[in-house]
Each structure stands twice: as C-alpha cells, then as structure tokens.
Structure 1
Amino acid sequence: MNRSRSIVLTLVSALALSSVVAVAGPAGSADAAPAARAGWKPRPATYPGTVTQQDLAIPMDDGTVLRGDLVLPAKADGTAVRKRLPVIITITAYNKSASGGSPLSGAGSDYLVQRGYAHLTVDARGTGSSEGSWAAFSRREDKDAGEIVEWAHSRKRPWSNGRIGMNGPSYMGISQLFAAGQRPKGLEAIFPQVPAADVYRDVVASGGQIDVGFIPLWLGLVTTTGVIPPAVTATDPQSGFGALIDHLGAAATFTLPLLLDAVTGGDSAYDGKFYRDRSPSRVVNRVDVPTFLIGGEFDLFQRGTPLIFENLQGRGVPTKMIIGPWDHLEGSSGADVGKAGHGSLSELQLRWFDRYVRGIKDPTLDTDIPPITYYEQGSGRWTKAQHWIGNQRAETFRLTGSAAAGGGAGALTRGDKVAAGTAYVPPVPVSGLCTRSSNQWTAGLPEAALADLPCWSDNASNDTTGVVFQTGPLDRAVRLRGPINARLYTSSASGDGMLSVSVSDVAPNGKVTRLTGGWQVVSQRALDRSRTRYLDGQVLQPFHPFTKASKKPLANGQVAPVDVEVFPTAAKIAKGHRLRIAIQSFDVVHLLPTVPDLPGTLTGLTIHNSAKYPSVLTIPGLG
C-alpha cells in the first residue's frame, strides 16, 4: 500500500471510530424493542465467497469515464460465477478504494453478493478513479447517476440480468434519490440511509448561519480522498493521470471558492439555484421505486429524511422508515439497526431487494415491518406508526415571566394567563461548545474521542450561557413526534443575531437531556406561508426563504415574531419531569455568522412575552 493511501485510510479509520464506540448505543436503546420479524427468515448464503473486478470503465454521454469495482459471487475454487444476476449499485464520493469497510460504506457487499447479487461501487465524477471534476451533486452528476444504472442494466453486461437496486448511506443515499429521479431503465428499488431532502436547510445553513462543523470536514474528506493517485493509473495511465489533474483542479475551482464565498457573505451564504440543484427535494416527486429509509434523531439529515418519507408515502410509493437514536456515522454504519426489531441492516436489505428487485413474494413484509419504526427518547422504546404526522395535535406552551442568563428560569405554561416579562440573551461565543448539538454537527466524532464528558448527555451547564423557560413537574407524561416550532418575539440592538433553541427533558435530579434543537437568524425571519406546515392552525414547521431579498434586519426598538424551526424528533417527557426550552445566541462548533453579519451577533437579543407578545413553543403532541 502506498503512503498516500495509508494516510487516507487512517483518516477514514478515525471517522469510523465514533460508530465503533457507539455500537452499544445510548442507555436504554435496546429496551422494549418490538417483536422480531415473524413471517420471514434470511436465506443462507448461496456462494462461499466473492471476487472483485476493479476499475471497470463506465462511459458517460459526454465522454467522461467513470470507474466502478464489481463484486461477484465466487465458487469454491475462487472463480466468479458465470451467470446474469440482479445488481446493487452504490455511487460514492469517498473513493471506493479507500473507504471500503468504514462506516462511510454502509453494510458492505459480501452479504448480498453471497446470496446471488452482483454489487457495483462507482466513484462519482471527479472522485476516486473517475475522470472529471467534482461539483457535489451538480446537474451533471445527477445525470451520471441515471446513466450508471442504465449501463449496468444493459444486456451488454454479461453479469447483469437487468434488474437493479441501489444502497448506501449519506452521499450514497442521496445519489440513489437523484438516480431514481432520472427514472432509468432497470431500477427497481433503493435503500438510502441518512439522506438529505433540502441541503441548505438540512445542513449547510440551518437557520441561515453557515455550518462550520460538518461542511468543511466533509469537503476536506472528499478533496483528500480525491487526490490519491488513482489505482487505474497503472493500467490506464492516460485516464488515471487525467483524473488526478481534474481532481486537483476541482479543489481550487470548486471547494475552496465555495467555502470562501459562503463565509464572506457571498451568494453561497443564501439559498438559491445552487442548493436547489443539489437537493433531493428537487427530484423527489419523480421517485417512484420502492424505498426503505434509515434516519437518525441526532443525524446531520435529521430534518430531511422524514420529509423524503412523507413525500413518497403521500404519493403511494411503497416506503418504510426506521429512525433511531443515531448520529451520522452511526446511521451510516447501520450497526444498531437490528435494535429496531426487524433484523440487521444486511438482512433488511436482502429482504427489500429480494421482494422488489428479484420479485420474490413476501406476503408478511408489510405486517412484519410497519411504515415507520422509531426510537422514542425518554421512554427508550421502539415504537411504530403509520404516518410521521398523523394523529398528533398541536400542544402550545406559553413563555411566561422573566428569565436571566446563568439562572432565574422563566416558566412554560399551557394556560392563557401569562406574566409579562423579558429575557436578555447575551452573546456568548462558546455556547454549544460541548453539547449533543456540537457532537451531532461534527458527525459524532467528538463524543467518540472524549466519550466520558458529561456534557454530551447533560445540557445543564450549556443552558447557563443563555436563558431558560420550563414547565413545572408534569402531572402527566407528554409525548411528541415530528417537527417543533418556537415563536419568539424578539428585539435586537443591532437589528440582527441568531436564536439557538434547544428543547430538553429535565429529570427530577436536574439532569437536562437535550432532545433536539433549532436555529434562526433574526433578519431572515420572513415566512413563506405557502410552504410552512401548520397543525391545528398553529405553525409547526416554518419555511423561511433565506435569500438576499428576504433579509430584513429589525428596526430600532422593533419587536417582531421569529419562528424557529426546531428539528423533528420523537420523545416522551415522563410525569414528574419538566419540558424546557433554552435559548442562546451562538451554537459552536456548529454554526457561525458570515463575516459581514458577525458584528450584528455581538449585541445579544431580548425575548419578550406578554399578551401583546405571545411567545410560544408548539409541539406535535401524541396524547
């Protein structure tokens, strides 16, 4: 192994650490799992081994050659079987030669291949051994995904029977949705783990500030794996060296300019065509193949995965979703998927692809596995549902009284009577530094490295850097599932700033468990009501345009309602516990303002609550 490959494998191993550490999952995660699959058992391996053909040339219609590794079943003598098989495709940006076996590659290929599938892993344009320049889900890469499927579907491939499925997490999950949106011939089913829906709102600029935790890490990973000299250089020097030059050029012409433009407040800091092109929400209405989704409650795409599910289910596409208490690398590895009670990740993929790619009858599939299986925080139970938003009702909790940073909590009440008050949220640039949020938005790496720090599971110390409103001890449990809205009447001396909101469960012993969070730049408070979700007449999931045109700082002395989209979760706050909302003005290492907006974040914010300014937390209650 050459030195450059060794360095990257070390990097990937470091990224993998969080999922290895997290195999045990959070306390209580194995409790009350639903009954295991009753009417189906995984079939045994048909073939004793596998064999790999490396760097197959896959030409695109513009002449660019992508490269794929093909894994085939092997006979006892180690030779590949000679027959046409259904094909599972994974499209990766993380260099197929460097990321195999890490959480970035999901379940791995051997399990399915030994049961009669071929598996093709393809380096996306401009990455790994593939030619071209990488531009992160560009329209051209979108088209490539469909062409890859049709190439594998072709009768010219002696190993393919023309029936195609797709799998893989994160980037590979998003690629599946773009491929399905192309409606290529032969694609029968997909299995995306932790995919996005709207990349701007999901991860790039949640609430309108720039993500400085995950995005630079991710861009760096793709760039680093992209400049490894391609393995194909030895067998096809012209293609290999050409690919390397293209990859080096992309770092200077795409990655660095994108980052610099965003942090300096350029067009990349705002939503627009660039991000819409790269969002699966642009093509999801064209996805019509059976889709099995894996999501995480602490995942980078915590917001987006349920939105994909709701769209597909609403259009009648066969769809299932499992959401667990996982961060991004945990959701990508799928190591704990079996705790949901339906089988391991590999077994679920086998069942899904046997049914929809091979066409094998499975009469108990829908009775064994409900549309949604999700982990309920607080109770530690795996729960099932027919719809993500179904029988919930809007439960509102009014902010009442005053609160002060460092102590002096205000109250949350279900009643109409509130005590007028204010709460000044000071600018504390270390807010969020050691929290479940900082761990989530760096994909789970900090907790893996420093697992014993109490701040990952107890938000109490971080909450002192802002203001807190909470209920008294609950006289009955409160259950919720879905997105949350915090409407906070806000003023600001600078006219701007960011509201960083966390919703937590406070135990009788004082432990503060952060359930979820949300963020909103005050100057970007404009609401697109046509795309905002309501429940019982209350805003549940606000939609803000986040464009240059929609940016409007507060006038001097102005108090205005700011709807903060708090990302979806499922939880039970037990009787005797308290429901808490905490508000800060920073969330590092997750988000930072652009350079031009930085001064406006350093004056702090004031939250108002009264009959005139009814600040409120709205949750999707389950009774």
Structure 2
Amino acid sequence: MAETQIEFDVPAEMGDGTVVRADVYRPGGTGPWPVLLARLPYGKQTPMMGVVLDPLAAARHGFMVVLQDTRGRFASEGEWEPFTYEESDGYDTVRWAAALPGSNGSVGMIGGSYFGNTQWMAALSKPPELKAIAPMITWSDPDDGLWTRGGAIELGLTVPWSLMQGADTLMRRHATDLDGLVNGITGLVQDFDGLASGGYGELPAGRFPAFARHDLPELGYERSRREPEWAASCTVAGRHGEIDLPAFQVGGRFDIFGQGTLDNFTAMRRAGRSATLVMGPWTHTNWRHVVGDVNFGFGANSDFMGMRGRLHDMQFDWFRRTIGDGEAVEPDAGTVLLFVMGINQWREETEWPLPRAVDTDFHLRADGRLTREPPSAAEQAEEFTYDPMDPVSTTSGALLMGGGLLNTDEFRPGPLDQAAVEAREDVLVFTTELLTEDVEVTGRVLAVLFAATDGPSTDWVARLCDVDEMGVSRNVADGIVRVRAATPGEAAERVVDLWSTSIVFWAGHRIRVQVTSSNFPRWDRNLNTGEPEESATTARVARQQVFHDPARPSRIVLPVVPVPAPPTVGRPWPPTPGRPGTTAGHAGDTEPHGTPLLTSPR
C-alpha cells in the first residue's frame, strides 16, 4: 500500500480575507477520497487528536483528512475570539476542503468538545458539500454545562480553559518582545498552577481577576452576559431543525457535556433527522474502562465496546455510508447504544429517553431516610448552615478539571468515594434501606426540594449516590440550581436537574441522596447576598432548611426501568479483592445474544 502523504500548513482564505491553515493527509493512491474535516483551537498536531481522530488511521481507511487550526490559533492568522467566527469559517472551510486535489467532493466533520461545536456551527451554515457530522462530547445549550449549570458559573472549567488558551495569545502578542513574553508566560503559569491551592477563590467570580490581569479572551461566560445576542455563536439548542444532515453522536456519563450530547440527539430525532447515539461510562478525556475508582469491565473501553470493535472503526464505517462515494447516502435510521453501569453491559435501544422508564418518587424523610412512601404526617425540617467561605469541596462528578485541565487528584471526574463530603455538617444525607431487588435507573434525574433560606439568594445542590455492600458511597449524578430572588424564611419548591444516567443499583446496595448548597470550585459559590456575580465580593452565612411533610414532599425523581431476570454470566459479584470499595467486575466483557449495534471492519 502506498504511504499516506501529508501536506502541512495548507492555507485557506476565509470570506473576509483571513488565512487559516490546515494539515492535509491523503491516502496512498490517486483517489478521489471523501474528506474528514476537524477544526480545532488546540493545535492541529496536539496529542489529544488521537482520542477523537487518528488521521493516519483514517487515511488507511480511505479518507482524506483535513485538520485545521481555527482562526487566531497556532498556524492560522486572525484574532482569537472563542466561537465568534466558527459558523462563517466553517462554511468557507468545508467548501475549500471539498475542492482540494484528491477530494471526491463530499465532506464529513468529526471531533469533540470545542471542535464538536464547530461541526454544529458549520452544519448550521449549510455548505452544500457537508454531508454528515460526528460531534462528540459537546454541548447543546452553553448555559447548561459550558458557561453555567442551573444558573451557577462553571468556574472549574472556565478558569483553567481560558488560562490554558492564553499561552498562544501571549506568544503572539509578545512575538518581538522576549522580556514581555517571559514575564507574561511566567505570570500565566503561576496563576494556573495556583488555582487548586486558592486561586479559584478570587472574586468576583463573574469578572475573574486573572483574565483581566493577563488581558485574555475567556471561555465566554462574561462576554455572553455583556452581549446576550453573541451567545448564538455557539448555541445549538433550538436550531436542530435547520440541520438536514445525519449525525453520529458520542457522549459520556461523567462528561461535563453529557446531557448536551443527549439533548442534541433527541432534538435531531424530533426534527426527523437520522441520528445515532453512543453513550459510555466515560469522562471528557477518559474513554477507557476504569473511570474514577470504578472498573466497569474491559468491554466498556472505547477500543473494545463489548466485542463490537473500536469506536473509531464504527465511525469510519458510518462515514463510508454517508460520504463515501461523493453523493450523500442516507444511513440507517439510527440506533442507540447505552452502557448500563452496575451490570456493566452495553445495551441497544431504539429511543432515548426510554419510553418504558417510569418516573418514581423517592422521598426525603426524617432521620436521613429515603423511601418510596411519602410522609403521612408532619416531620421536622432538616437544617444546616452554609458558609461560602467554607464551601463543600468538589469531589468528582461529570466535570472537566483534574485529569483533564488540572493535574490534581482532588478534581478527578467519575465516581469516587463520598465519605469526606458526607461527613460535613452542611451536607444532608438521605439513604434507602438495603435494596431487596435490583433497581435500574435510566433517564433524567430530578430533585424536587421544598427549601428555605434566610437570605436573598442561595444555591441548592443535590447528588445521587450508590452505596455498595461495604458501605462506600459513590456519586452517580448531581446538579445545582441558583436561587437569585428568595424570600427569606419562605419555603419554596426548587427543582434541581441532575441530568441523566443509566445504572442498576444492585440488591444489597442502597440509594443515597445528598443535599447541600455548594460544590466548589466546580461551580462558583453563591455569596448569599443577592449581588450579581460580576460584582459580588462580600459573603454572608446562610441558614438553610429542607422540608419533608405531606404539604412539602421533598423528593428525588428516578426514571426506574423494569429489570429483567438477572444475567447468568458476567455479574461482578462478589467484588474483586483489591482496593476497598472498588467495583472491578467483568460484565462489560460479555454481551447478551443479539445483533451488534454497528458492524465495524476487522
């Protein structure tokens, strides 16, 4: 086979004259070939490309690959403004890539996170040569996981991401000033390295001081508040009906954009588009089978997929059907492949959410109980004190901090032991009795709290946990809601969206719910004063109450799916000896009889 030919820094002129550059990988031979395009701000030769697209592997599969630095980044010219130009530049780039020598005229786009969103933006611009997209681990509404969540700032993502992107900005700014460059980069690195040890605590959170110190573009929260109309530059929600393309979407249960992936999928389906979904137990940067401190079985690994083969090969096969011969070929109607935690198995579905799931109330009760039965008589409210200067520390979850942006153990994503969190006096804990049968929860989880605060503003955080046979509590899903205009002392219904999950709580386990008012530094602290985040710098202590009586039945709503007979093989019981509390089963290595979701080439 002839060797892949690589052409570096190939220029493309955008509509306003700005030149952006791409590396082009051509398979051996004469072509023509379909084009796979990725547009990213992280450097087109960054090692992270291998997670979402190996260009040499794609070339071996018969695709011409184009990896482009977005405007104002690395080899590309122009000013770096996150998101601003991705729709127009996406249109120009698709048309340019389709006309490159060796192209068959059909373009598919692939990538994750920021360059998952560049696909959606290009699709909205409607270049005629774009035939299919494969967005991975990306958002739908930037105010549901990118900039904010439930009204609270995604500080744990916004701050390190903005500082990291600032390095290239400073190198461009001081290209002819060595002293300025050294001083600028030194200060930037100091701020970045100091985040975990206290830098996150700078105020005001909504006008983060480090961005002003270095004069850097930030992820977009601050700009979107100053210029609300600008948020459309990276918003997909509400626009799916404008996109008439098939989409292959990949997400993770512990990814910061996990719900965005699901929302994009369901919106495409509602719009009548062909959409395929793969949802693993993964984080934003870890698609292996050990996530947090849980081993989900080797079958959970994206290189294995429960004996289906590599996820990348599934995508290549799908792209062959959609862009392979120069004409758009309608792919399969679309299928859903979900990883069910607990039993650690991939399961094929035809819909999301699952129509057979039944929303089931589990009530918060006195003495820390969690029951299906609602309170039948008055029960004393639970109380705690929330001090913004002593917030509950972020301990895992669907986040992008440690292991992705910060090299720190305390900010690892995924399921981790919650003992330190649950030992705090400002965290309420509600737990079921031992389960006598397996309980599958697959779908969107909501906490409905009847709660009061003595201040004008506060936050409510809820977390769903699985407590194993040894009493170790691990997080499954969580969420936050910011109350900006509370009436002091008045109980009101507050709904906390915990996003979606898929897990079987085994018989012998317990289901647990935590309720508190902070999860810092993932989400910024509510200072309880009612002042805007853009200017608030002083804090007050809040006294919180959570009610659970017949008139105010605080509860968590779990989408319970009828559980079939237990599998005869693969159930990880008893737990493999080793680190205390580690679930290390092998159910993910086996599959029930059935047809694979997607047949990948061997």
**What TM-score range do you get, normalising by the shorter chain?**
0.7 to 0.9
Q: What's the CA shift for 1:356?
A: 0.7
* Correspondence 1:126 to 2:126: no
Which residue pairs with 1:613 in the alignment? 552
Residues paired across the two proteins, number: 506
Structure 2 residue corresponding to 1:220, chosen from 163, 175, 199: 163
Cα distance in structure 1, aligned partners of 2:151 and 2:169: 30
The 3 A distance-change label for structure 1 pair 418 and 111 is farther
Residues 176-212 of structure 1 deviation map (CA, whole Å, 9 limit, x = unaligned): 1111122211111111111110111123111212122
Which residue pairs with 1:68 in the alignment? 22
Cα distance in structure 2, aligned partners of 1:112 and 1:616: 49
The 3 A distance-change label for structure 1 pair 565 and 260 is closer
Cα distance in structure 1, aligned partners of 2:304 and 2:440: 24
Residues 281-324 of structure 1 deviation map (CA, whole Å, 9 limit, x = unaligned): 25322222111111010101011000001011222322111111
Which residue pairs with 2:520 in the alignment? 588
Which residue pairs with 1:398 in the alignment? 363
Structure 2 residue corresponding to 1:444, chosen from 387, 392, 403: 403
Instruction: Give the letter for the 1:442 counterpart.
Output: M
Structure 2 residue corresponding to 1:562, chosen from 494, 500, 503: 494
Match of 2:166, SS? helix
Cα distance in structure 2, aligned partners of 1:320 and 1:426: 46
Which residue pairs with 1:294 in the alignment? 250
Q: What's the CA shift for 1:600?
A: 5.9
Cα distance in structure 2, aligned partners of 1:56 and 1:364: 31
Match of 2:443, SS? strand
Deviating more after overlay: 385-394 vs 562-571? 385-394
Cα distance in structure 1, aligned partners of 2:139 and 2:259: 8
Match of 1:129, SS? coil
Which residue pairs with 1:475 in the alignment? 436
Which residue pairs with 1:236 in the alignment? none
Matching of residues 485-504 of structure 1 within 5 Å: 485-504=446-465
Q: What's the CA shift for 1:267?
A: 7.1
Cα distance in structure 1, aligned partners of 2:286 and 2:244: 28
* Correspondence 1:356 to 2:356: no
Which residue pairs with 2:63 in the alignment? 117
The 3 A distance-change label for structure 1 pair 448 and 132 is closer
Cα distance in structure 2, aligned partners of 1:410 and 1:585: 20
Cα distance in structure 2, aligned partners of 1:610 and 1:591: 30
Cα distance in structure 2, aligned partners of 1:621 and 1:435: 26
Deviating more after overlay: 266-275 vs 189-198? 266-275
Q: Residue 495 of structure 1 contacts residue 600 of structure 1 at CA under 8 Å; is this kept in 2? A: no
* Correspondence 1:136 to 2:82: yes
Match of 2:338, SS? strand
Instruction: Give the letter for the 1:149 counterpart.
Output: V
Q: Residue 87 of structure 1 contacts residue 165 of structure 1 at CA under 8 Å; is this kept in 2? A: yes
Which residue pairs with 1:373 in the alignment? 337
Instruction: Give the letter for the 1:222 counterpart.
Output: Q
Match of 1:180, SS? helix
Structure 1 residue corresponding to 2:6, chosen from 52, 59, 65: 52
Structure 2 residue corresponding to 1:188, chosen from 119, 122, 131: 131
Residues 80-118 of structure 1 deviation map (CA, whole Å, 9 limit, x = unaligned): x44432111000011214x1x335762211112123221
Match of 2:269, SS? helix
Cα distance in structure 2, aligned partners of 1:491 and 1:417: 21
Q: Residue 161 of structure 2 contacts residue 405 of structure 2 at CA under 8 Å; is this kept in 1? A: no
The 3 A distance-change label for structure 1 pair 449 and 378 is same
Which residue pairs with 1:84 in the alignment? 32
Structure 1 gaps, min length 5: 1-46, 75-80, 234-250, 403-408, 524-552
Which residue pairs with 2:595 in the alignment? none
Q: CA RMSD in A?
A: 3.4
Cα distance in structure 2, aligned partners of 1:480 and 1:444: 28
Q: What's the CA shift for 1:128?
A: 1.6
Instruction: Give the letter for the 1:201 counterpart.
Output: D
Cα distance in structure 1, aligned partners of 2:377 and 2:403: 40
Matching of residues 31-46 of structure 1 within 5 Å: none
Match of 2:521, SS? coil
Q: Residue 39 of structure 2 contacts residue 70 of structure 2 at CA under 8 Å; is this kept in 1? A: yes
Match of 2:507, SS? coil
Instruction: Give the letter for the 1:283 counterpart.
Output: R
* TM-score between the two structures when normalised by the length of structure 1: 0.74
The 3 A distance-change label for structure 1 pair 433 and 584 is same
Matching of residues 402-551 of structure 1 within 5 Å: 409-415=368-374, 417=376, 419-427=378-386, 432-433=392-393, 435-437=395-397, 440-442=399-401, 444-445=403-404, 450=409, 457-465=416-424, 466-523=427-484
Q: Residue 498 of structure 1 contacts residue 601 of structure 1 at CA under 8 Å; is this kept in 2? A: no
Q: What's the CA shift for 1:66?
A: 1.2
Q: Residue 147 of structure 2 contacts residue 220 of structure 2 at CA under 8 Å; is this kept in 1? A: no
Q: Residue 341 of structure 2 contacts residue 503 of structure 2 at CA under 8 Å; is this kept in 1? A: yes
Q: Residue 300 of structure 1 contacts residue 441 of structure 1 at CA under 8 Å; is this kept in 2? A: yes
Cα distance in structure 2, aligned partners of 1:420 and 1:167: 54
Structure 2 gaps, min length 5: 176-209, 290-299, 526-532, 563-602
Structure 2 residue corresponding to 1:321, chosen from 258, 261, 277: 277
Q: Residue 276 of structure 2 contacts residue 336 of structure 2 at CA under 8 Å; is this kept in 1? A: yes
Cα distance in structure 1, aligned partners of 2:90 and 2:413: 43
Q: What's the CA shift for 1:419?
A: 4.7
The 3 A distance-change label for structure 1 pair 196 and 252 is same
Instruction: Give the letter for the 2:444 counterpart.
Output: P
* Correspondence 1:304 to 2:247: no
* TM-score between the two structures when normalised by the length of structure 2: 0.76
The 3 A distance-change label for structure 1 pair 472 and 272 is farther
The 3 A distance-change label for structure 1 pair 185 and 516 is same
Q: What's the CA shift for 1:355?
A: 0.8
Instruction: Give the letter for the 1:381 counterpart.
Output: Q
Cα distance in structure 1, aligned partners of 2:439 and 2:255: 23
Q: What's the CA shift for 1:589?
A: 2.2
Residues 567-602 of structure 1 deviation map (CA, whole Å, 9 limit, x = unaligned): 111111112322111012110220113365565663
Q: Residue 128 of structure 1 contacts residue 226 of structure 1 at CA under 8 Å; is this kept in 2? A: no
Match of 1:609, SS? strand
Which residue pairs with 2:53 in the alignment? 107
Going by fraction, where is helix more abundant, 1 or 2?
Answer: 1
Match of 2:268, SS? helix
Deviating more after overlay: 266-275 vs 504-513? 266-275
Cα distance in structure 1, aligned partners of 2:11 and 2:226: 38
Match of 2:62, SS? coil
Q: Residue 72 of structure 1 contacts residue 113 of structure 1 at CA under 8 Å; is this kept in 2? A: yes
The 3 A distance-change label for structure 1 pair 578 and 602 is same
> Could you tell me the percent identity over the aligned residues?
23
Instruction: Give the letter for the 1:620 counterpart.
Output: P
Residues 199-241 of structure 1 deviation map (CA, whole Å, 9 limit, x = unaligned): 11123111212122111222223232455569xx9xxxxxxxx
Q: Which runs of 4+ in 1 moved over 6 A?
A: 251-255, 332-335, 451-455
The 3 A distance-change label for structure 1 pair 425 and 371 is farther
Q: Residue 178 of structure 1 contacts residue 283 of structure 1 at CA under 8 Å; is this kept in 2? A: no
Residues 251-281 of structure 1 deviation map (CA, whole Å, 9 limit, x = unaligned): 989995765996xxx7755994333432222
Q: Residue 463 of structure 2 contacts residue 515 of structure 2 at CA under 8 Å; is this kept in 1? A: yes
Which residue pairs with 1:197 in the alignment? 140
Match of 2:542, SS? coil
Q: What's the CA shift for 1:452?
A: 13
Which residue pairs with 1:23 in the alignment? none
